[in-house]
Homo-oligomer: A and B are copies of this chain.
Amino acid sequence: MADTDHALQPPARLRELASWQANKVSTLGARLTAQRMPLSARADFAVLAALEEYGALSQAEIGRRLGLDRNDVSGILTRLEGGRQVDRQADPANRRRNVVTLTAAGQQHLEELQRHADAVQAELLAGLDAAERQQLQSLLAKLLDSHNPQPA
Contact = CB atoms under 8 A, between A and B. Distances in A.
Interface in A1-45: 5, 8-30, 32-33, 42, 45
B127 A8 contact: no
Interface residues of A, number: 64
Contacts of A145: 127
Given A10-B50, A18-B125, A67 B142 contact: no
B10 A65 contact: yes
Contacts of A137: 16, 18, 21
A130 interface: no
Contacts of A33: 19
B126 A132 contact: no
B19 A26 contact: yes
A49 B14 contact: yes
Given A8-B149, A10-B66, 9 more contacts: A13-B45, A13-B49, A14-B49, A16-B121, A18-B124, A19-B25, A20-B42, A20-B46, A124-B143
